[in-house]
Structure 1
């Protein structure tokens, strides 16, 4: 049910050739937790799987916007956010197609948002604690740690039910409409990957704080599947296609060109990007293709060549 009489939360879900069973579970959950759901479909025009699914749900509070082609997650989010605003939403919940929120996730996010606001915090967004569906890993949030040169990681707990985060992932993030209006649209030239990271840093640069909420839980797929890698010991990581590796590297280079992002964050995440190239090229299934796309991503990022991959 809608978590607060004074709030009108609309969810925006971006779809692209989804697993319809997973998408159905997501939509069923969001339809019971929000005032309405806007599905923005990037699936090619000749594939009507999302349309067929939405027809079977037959909810007055569900709206489907078919784009007929893949215009990228940022463009789809902007279109969905505009639709939610036109429906007089007070808050917008962003979601990927492969997430599954807990039954009370939206209510817990809104409660935390309201409590933080009443406590005098300038809240940009709140996000749930998320568990990777492939690896079972519960992810911590990036946080500033006193005395630590780079950022650290922290999970909310009973003594600290919310943590101030440096970034939030798109899926599960709840944002008040006035914040969305002030900060402007998502960066459509990023197309996919790091769209949420750029927005998070933009929000923090504007004076807003981001928070991870321990009582709000969400299952989420971070990659295509789990990948066993050796990285100072054997561990499970998310696997990415060569094209996703391209976008991750290119858009990270684009982030490094932004003066609003601290250089210490860039340096720390540069090490992470090196790790992505290492794990995906050595342990992934498409070694040479991944290495080729990684090099292309670096080159295009340095040249400022953005938008969708054009070969």
Structure 2
């Protein structure tokens, strides 16, 4: 069973990224490296040198600008459909996965016996209960998720409105609407780093401390997602998005984060643009 890997880079730490890639490179036949780092950089030279024994597997796509994840994902989806790949493994440069081998073996077994599964996801950071080996899920994060060729045929191309933020939720809904299941293999843990978490001295409020541009993207895109997928999103999920990306984000900016004026401005802009965006 042939697997294409896909990973996006953005100002990567070369040594750390190479170490992370080594944990899953043996389990893919080729890896699309979609480099969103703006301007000229040494990412390719450094990583090719650090991964010399696996460098022939890397398919480099260097843009010189940040085109987001969705554009790169569409490239990878079409490469699966145009080639002889059975599966697509999506990864993040900050994800480390020593357990990838046994996960991919489990995916191959299940894929061969159950055609209803369109996406396989690991237990991200061990947060899922391990009371059963397999758990059906409504949503996944892109890093660590494996899509089947059959599911890809149903959802490609993905909506590039969600260039980065809310892309995983959009893809999850699209897959389920095509009649496929999303399953979490709970015994297989992916180590995934989210943001640069910091805490306030008062009330110990935590935040991943995303910058103003990501503040805007998260707010705008999740509002668009709520509007676009209003029939598919359960009410509790809609409320979660509103609380997480608007209400709680406002509290975090005021009490924890820096660059308050710019981030507040971009939060307000995100609300306005999300509400006025023309749904296609």
What is the TM-score normalised by the length of structure 2?
0.88
CA distance in 2, matches of 1:285, 1:168: 30
Correspondence 1:65 to 2:68 = no
Q: Find the aligned partners of 1:209 and 1:280 in 2 and give their Cα distance.
A: 37
Residue deviations 1:179-221 (CA, integer Å, cap 9, x gap): 1111112221221111111111111122221122222221112
- Kindly provide the CA deviation profile for residues 96-129 of structure 1, in whole angstroms up to 9, marking residues without a partner as x: 1111112x325314514633763x5611211111
Question: Aligned-pair distance for 1:253?
Answer: 0.6
**Contact 2:133-2:186 within 8 A present in 1 as well:** yes
SS of residue matched to 1:99: coil
The answer for unaligned runs of 5 or more in structure 1 is 1-6, 132-137, 140-154, 307-311
Q: Is the 8 A contact 1:109 1:213 kept in 2?
A: no
Aligned to 1:262: 233
Equivalences, count: 273
Answer yes or no: is 1:108 the counterpart of 2:103. Answer: yes
In terms of fraction of residues, the more helix-rich structure is: 2
When residues 209 and 277 of structure 1 are mapped into structure 2, their CA distance, relative to the original with a 3 A threshold, is farther
Q: Is the 8 A contact 1:281 1:290 kept in 2?
A: no
Could you tell me which residue of structure 1 aligns to residue 3 of structure 2?
9
Decide which structure has greater strand share.
1
Deviation at 1:261, TM superposition (A): 2.4
Superposition CA RMSD, Å: 2.3
The equivalent of 1:180 in structure 2 is 152
Q: How far, CA to CA, are the matches of 1:284 and 1:130 in structure 2?
A: 26
* Residue from 259, 262, 266 that aligns with 1:289: 262
The answer on whether the counterparts of 1:124 and 1:203 sit within 8 Å (CA) in structure 2 is yes
CA contact (8 A) 1:38 1:84 kept: no
Q: Please tell me whether residue 125 in structure 1 is matched to residue 113 in structure 2.
A: no
- Tell whether the 8 Å contact from 1:11 to 1:92 is kept in structure 2 after alignment: yes
The answer as to 2:44 corresponding to 1:51 is yes
- Judged with a 3 Å threshold, the aligned counterparts in structure 2 of structure 1 residues 293 and 305 are, in CA distance, closer, same or farther, namely farther
Give the corresponding residue for 1:278. Answer: 251
The aligned runs of 1:1-311 (5 Å cut-off) are 7-47=1-41, 49-56=42-49, 57-58=51-52, 59-102=55-98, 104-112=99-107, 114-115=109-110, 118=113, 120=114, 122-131=116-125, 138-139=126-127, 155-157=128-130, 159-223=131-195, 225-229=196-200, 234=204, 236-258=206-228, 259-264=230-235, 265-273=237-245, 274-304=247-277
Go from structure 1 to structure 2 and tell me whether the alpha carbon gap of 1:305 and 1:15 turns closer, same or farther (over 3 Å shift): farther
